[in-house]
Chains A and B, each alone.
Chain A
Amino acid sequence: MSTDTTPALLAVTVTPARPQKLTGAPHQVGRALGRTGAALSWLVVAIGGLAMILPFLWMLGVAFRTSSDLYADPARILPEQWTLHGISAVLSQLPFIHLVVNTFVFAGGATVLLLLFDSMTAFALARLRFRGRNVLFVLILATLMVPFQVTIIPVFLTLFHLGWLNSYQGLIIPRATSALGIFLLRQFFMQLPTELDDAAHIDGAGNFIVYWRIILPNAKPALASLFIIQFAALWNDFLWPLVVSSNINMQTLPAALTVFSSQSGVDHAALMAGAAISLTPLAIAFLLLQRYFVQGVAAAGIK
């Protein structure tokens, strides 16, 4: 790959020791070494990139090959003969449609409610005055530090007493708000100019109108990012659905796949087909909306 527009600068981190010597070396030798170093580092990074994707290609390959083909030549990535046996096997060996629906309802329902509740709270914190506002904000920030595992036992007992175990409301309601979401949306809302609200208030609009008609439409990028990272987190969540849903018909994909994978004599094609299907919605969303994924993750990082 051409490196003439990219100076040796970035080669440094991959092979830190060599470019250090370069600075003192004669010009031509230095440049040649810099080129080689840059090319080498590109090679390493490219091989690493391949290593990131290869396991997923292998998963797809196993999903579409027969068991005898896999055992005969495990060194191949792609099947010799393609078969849909894995897909049909996972549909018959697991209540797969149920699992997909459950995961969608859980991740989708909780994320929609979370966006609504978090944006309402963030709006109040960013725009309205009320008693205890600062205290509330500090308390919300404090819950950011609480690992979810600390609360899981009492929450489990609460759901048990409410009769909410193995139910959608049990899966969704406790997940329908997040301190991080409130925090990120508040930051974003504070950056929106207040002139818009003021104008609307002068026109007689109430708080709800301002929230719904002015703040939310202007916060679409932030909401989209939050939606995607939250949906992905819940779609992938394991411990929470594992604890709330013991009934296989109320389980989500990660929990059911784990149980399935630890059975002896597991059907590899069925398992990898299940894994592939469970990854597909996020993979598609990621490839189409990569910008929002990245912004969501980066926004949480930069604060």
Chain B
Amino acid sequence: MTTTESRPANPGRHPGLAGRPGRRPRFNSAYLFIAPSVILIAVFIAEPILQTGWMSLHDWTIGEATHKFVGLANYTALYHDSRFWNALRVTVVYTVFVSLGQVLLGLAVASRLRKTTWYSSLLRTAYFFPFIASLIVVGIIWKFLLDPQVGLVDAWLTDLGISPPNWLQSPSLALPTVIVVGIWKNAGFAMIVLLAGMQQVPAFLYEAATIDGAGAWKRFRHVTLPALRPALLFTTLIATITGLQLFDLVYAMTGGGPIFHTESVVMYLYEKGFVEFQMGYASAISWVLFVIILAISAVQLRVSRYRDVD
């Protein structure tokens, strides 16, 4: 009609004009560009979040004809579920130690390898290498490295005259062992992000600090650390979020054992949802996990008062 008459040119060809007030474009090709991602995000992320919440209010067991509405019963059951609390404790302990460990180790290594020489490049590659391997491959390698019969670690300890403990079968040692492997796996990630942060610190700051008589520690404390705040926050945040999602590593190394001593929240979720098919209960677990992750992200962002300078 009038629109078509007054706009002979194809509006899609002139995006600068398309958005100007007064003329409504017949069709904006921008929608074609966003359509695939928007549809995928809507169907596979946005709607499922809401559906998980909805399902968590039902007794939604696969194979049963009806899904009875039970209100908050799944959540109250979760509150009294000692296996859930155990999984939460395991997950939080793992997350705290692995986050701290990987950030501190990454920081130490990054500050040592800050200058680019052939040997520091080599060492950076070495430290980053475990990060590109899958948690499954890493878990499998370590499970057998720590094996009492074929494992290198136990064999070497025996050669040194130390009788090795039963790393992954011992209730008190299994989780710490998984934590050490988690740090070993992820330290390279923290190192890379912190190195990138360090390389953005202008050299004159160090020169100025040296002229002012600042020693090595003071330069690190007052020049490097403040400049690294955003990178430190980012690595801690990512480490925390991925730590709370702990699954692959324990699945490969211990299967959650011995007797649930390394069972994580996501593992319990998987067990309830995809082994026992109690989807309602599993949905409640995933919503609790979601809320915890959101809350921790919000707190970490607020506490460190992180604002991009630019």
Contact = CB atoms under 8 A, between A and B. Distances in A.
Interface string A268-287: 10011001001100110011
B31 A52 contact: no
Given A6-B115, A124-B34, A46 B248 contact: no
Q: Would you call the interface of chain B mostly helix, strand, loop, or mixed?
A: helix
Interface string A120-158: 110111011111010010011001011111111111111
B226 interface: no
Contacts of A283: 129, 132-133
Interface residues of A, number: 115
B262 interface: no
Nearest to B290: A150
A206 B29 CA distance: 9
B84 interface: no
Contact of B290 (A13, A146, A279, A294): A146
A261 interface: yes
Interface in A175-208: 176-177, 179, 182, 198, 201, 204-208
A29 interface: no
B140 A258 contact: yes
B123 A207 contact: no
Contact of A147 (B197, B282, B290): B290
Nearest to B156: A75
Given A14-B112, A136-B38, A19 B217 contact: yes
B274 interface: yes
A33 to B, nearest CB: 11
Q: Would you call the interface of chain A mostly helix, strand, loop, or mixed?
A: helix
B33 A124 contact: yes
Contacts of A279: 133-134, 137
B136 A58 contact: no
Interface in B97-116: 105, 107-109, 111-115
A297 interface: yes
Contacts of B47: 154
B57 interface: no
B126 A49 contact: yes
Contacts of A262: 255
B7 to A, nearest CB: 15
Contacts of A153: 48, 52, 55, 273, 279, 282-283, 286
Interface string A32-76: 001000000110011011111101101100100000001101110
Between A1, A12, A236, the greatest number of chain B beta carbons within 10 A of the residue's beta carbon is seen for A12
B155 interface: yes
B135 A121 contact: no
Contacts of A151: 44-45, 48-49, 52
B55 A129 contact: no
Contact of A154 (B29, B38, B55, B266): B55
A96 B238 CA distance: 34
Contacts of B119: 1
A51 B153 CA distance: 12
Between B140, B290, B308, the greatest number of chain A beta carbons within 10 A of the residue's beta carbon is seen for B140
B145 interface: yes
A248 to B, nearest CB: 16
Contact of B289 (A23, A55, A75, A150): A150
B48 A154 contact: yes
Contact of A239 (B38, B49, B128, B270): B270
A171 interface: no
A143 B129 CA distance: 29
A302 B232 CA distance: 10
B37 interface: yes
Nearest to B308: A303
Between A70, A74, A127, A205, the greatest number of chain B beta carbons within 10 A of the residue's beta carbon is seen for A74
Interface of B: 10, 12-16, 18-19, 28-31, 33-34, 36-38, 40-41, 43-49, 51-52, 55, 105, 107-109, 111-115, 119, 122-123, 125-130, 132-145, 149-152, 154-156, 158-159, 184, 188-189, 192-193, 195-197, 200, 206, 215-220, 230-231, 234-235, 238, 241, 244-245, 247-248, 251-252, 255, 266, 269-270, 273-274, 279, 282-283, 286-287, 289-290, 293-294, 297, 308
10 contacts: A13-B111, A55-B141, A56-B130, A58-B141, A73-B155, A123-B33, A205-B13, A237-B134, A271-B144, A302-B230
Given A19-B215, A58-B145, A177-B40, 4 more contacts: A5-B115, A13-B107, A49-B123, A297-B192
Interface of A: 1, 5-14, 16, 19-20, 22-23, 34, 41-42, 45-46, 48-53, 55-56, 58-59, 62, 70-71, 73-75, 77, 116-118, 120-121, 123-125, 127-131, 133, 136, 139-140, 143, 145-158, 173-174, 176-177, 179, 182, 198, 201, 204-208, 211, 232, 235-239, 243, 254-255, 257-258, 261-262, 268, 271-272, 275, 278-279, 282-283, 286-287, 290, 293-294, 297-298, 301-303
The 3 closest A-B pairs by CB, nearest first: A129-B19, A23-B215, A236-B134
